[in-house]
Amino acid sequence: MQQHCDSEDLALLALGEPVDPACEEHVSACPQCSAELADLRQVVSVGRASGGPDALESPPPRVWAAISDQLASEPVPLKRPDTAPPRRRWTGLVAAAAAGILIGGGAVAVITGQNTPETVVASAQLAPMPDGPDRGGSAEATLNRTDSGYTVTVKASGVAGPEGFYEVWLLDPENSGLIALGSIAAGEQEATFPVPDGVDLDTFNAVDVSDEPLDGDPTHSTVTVLRGTLEA
Amino acid sequence: MQDVDVAEVGRQLAAGEESALAEAYERWSRLVYTVALRSVATQADAEDITQAVFISAWRSRASFNPEAGNVPGWLLAITRRRIADHHRKRRDEVPLDNAPETSHDAPDITDQVSVADEIDELGEPAGQIIRLAFYDDLTHQQIAERLNMPLGTVKSHIRRSLLKMRARLEVTHAAAL
Q: Is A127 on the interface with B (CB under 8 A)?
A: no
Q: Do B30 and A11 touch (CB under 8 A)?
A: no
* A183/A130 same-domain check: yes
Looking at the structure, do residues A125 and A178 belong to the same domain, yes or no? Answer: yes
Residues of A in contact with B52 (CB under 8 A): 232
* Among the partner residues B32, B111, B155, nearest to A46 by beta-carbon distance: B111
Concatenated DSSP letters for chain B? --SS-HHHHHHHHHTT-HHHHHHHHHHHHHHHHHHHHHHSS-HHHHHHHHHHHHHHHHHTGGG--TTT--HHHHHHHHHHHHHHHHHHHHHHHS-GGG--------HHHHHHHHHHHHHHHS-TTHHHHHHHHHHS---HHHHHHHHT--HHHHHHHHHHHHHHHHHHHHHHHHHH-
Give the pLDDT confidence score for residue B12 in this predicted structure. Answer: 87
Confidence at residue B144, expressed as pLDDT on a 0 to 100 scale? 95
Contact by Cβ (8 Å): A92, B19 = yes
Domains present along chain B, CATH in parentheses: 1-103 (1.10.1740.10), 122-177 (1.10.10.10)
A83 plus A28 within the same structural domain: no
Of B29, B55, B62, the CB nearest to A59: B29
Tell me chain B's radius of gyration from C-alpha atoms: 19
Model confidence over B36-59: pLDDT tens digits?
Answer: 999 999 999 999 999 999 999 998
Both A68 and A48 in one domain: the answer is no
Is A91 inside a domain boundary?
A: yes
What is the value of ipTM here, to two decimals? 0.81
What is the three-state SS of A8-63?
Answer: HHHHHHHCCCCCCHHHHHHHHHCHHHHHHHHHHHHHHHHHHHHCCHHHCCCCCHHH
Tell me whether residue A112 is in a domain: no
pLDDT category at B141 given cuts 50, 70, 90 is very high
In a domain, A1, yes or no: no
Inform me whether the pLDDT recorded for B26 exceeds 80: yes
For residues B138-153, give the mean pLDDT: 94
Domain residues for A144? 118-229
B56-101 pLDDT per residue, tens? 999 888 778 877 778 888 899 899 889 988 988 877 765 555 544 4
Same domain, A130 and A183: yes
Q: Is residue A108 part of a domain?
A: no
The shortest C-alpha distance from A122 to chain B (Å) reads 9
Average pLDDT, chain A: 77
Q: Which pLDDT does position A90 carry in this prediction?
A: 47
Indicate the residue of A51, A70, A101 with minimum beta-carbon distance to B116: A51
Query: Looking at the structure, do residues A94 and A162 belong to the same domain, yes or no?
Result: no
pLDDT value of residue A113: 37
Q: Cα distance from B106 to chain A (closest Cα, Å)?
A: 13
Chain B contact for A175, CB < 8 A?
Answer: no
A191 class by beta-carbon count within 10 Å (0-12 exposed, 13-18 middle, 19+ buried): middle
A221 and A138 fall within a common domain: yes
Indicate if A51 and A151 belong to the same structural domain: no
The predicted pLDDT at position A186 comes to 65
What pLDDT sits at residue B94?
58
Q: Do A14 and B113 touch (CB under 8 A)?
A: no
How many folded domains does chain A comprise? 3
Whether residues A137 and A67 share a domain: the answer is no
Q: What is the pLDDT of residues A101-151, one digit of tens each?
A: 444 333 333 333 334 457 888 888 888 877 778 887 778 999 988 888 889
Q: Do A205 and B19 touch (CB under 8 A)?
A: no
- Please give the pLDDT value at position B175: 63
Length in residues, chain A: 232
Contact A135, B58 (CB under 8 A): no
Q: Which residues of B24-60 are buried (b: 16+ CB within 10 A; e: fewer)?
A: bbbbbbbbbbbbbbbbbeeeebbbbbbbbbbbbbbbb
Question: Distance from A192 to chain B by nearest Cα, in Å?
Answer: 23
Same domain membership, residue A184 and residue A158? yes
Instruction: Clarify whether residues A127 and A224 are in a common domain.
Output: yes
What's the pLDDT tens digit per position in A163-191? 888 889 998 887 778 888 988 876 677 88
Question: Which A residues 151-170 touch B at CB under 8 Å?
Answer: none
Choose between A157 and A48: higher pLDDT: A48
pLDDT at A88: 37
For residue A204, give the amino acid letter: F
Instruction: Looking at the structure, tell me whether residues A49 and A74 fall in a common domain.
Output: no
Residue B107 confidence class, pLDDT cut points 50, 70, 90: low
State which H helix or E strand residue A159 sits in: none
Q: How far is CA B99 from CA A57, A191, B41, B86, in A?
A: 29, 31, 14, 14
Q: How confident is the model at residue B162 (pLDDT cuts 50, 70, 90)?
A: very high
- Check residue A215 and give its pLDDT: 81
**What percentage of residues in chain B have a pLDDT greater than 70?**
86
**Contact across the interface for B116 and A14, Cβ inside 8 Å:** no
Span B11-21, mean pLDDT?
A: 86
- Whether the link from the prior residue into A61 is cis, omega within 30° of 0, is no
- Specify the range with the lowest mean pLDDT, choosing from A12-16, B40-44, B97-101, B156-160: B97-101
> What local confidence, expressed as pLDDT, does residue B133 receive?
95
Number of inter-chain CB pairs under 8 A, A vs B: 138
Chain A residue numbers touching B107 (CB-CB < 8 A)? none
pLDDT for B62 equals 79
Question: A47 lies in a domain?
Answer: yes
Dump pLDDT digits (tens) for A40-87.
Answer: 999 999 999 888 888 899 999 999 999 988 887 765 432 223 333 333
Cα–Cα dist B22/B58, whole Å? 10
Residues ≥6 apart with Cβ < 8 Å to B84: B104, B105
Q: What is the pLDDT of residue A187?
A: 67
Q: Does A91 or B113 have the greater pLDDT score? A: B113
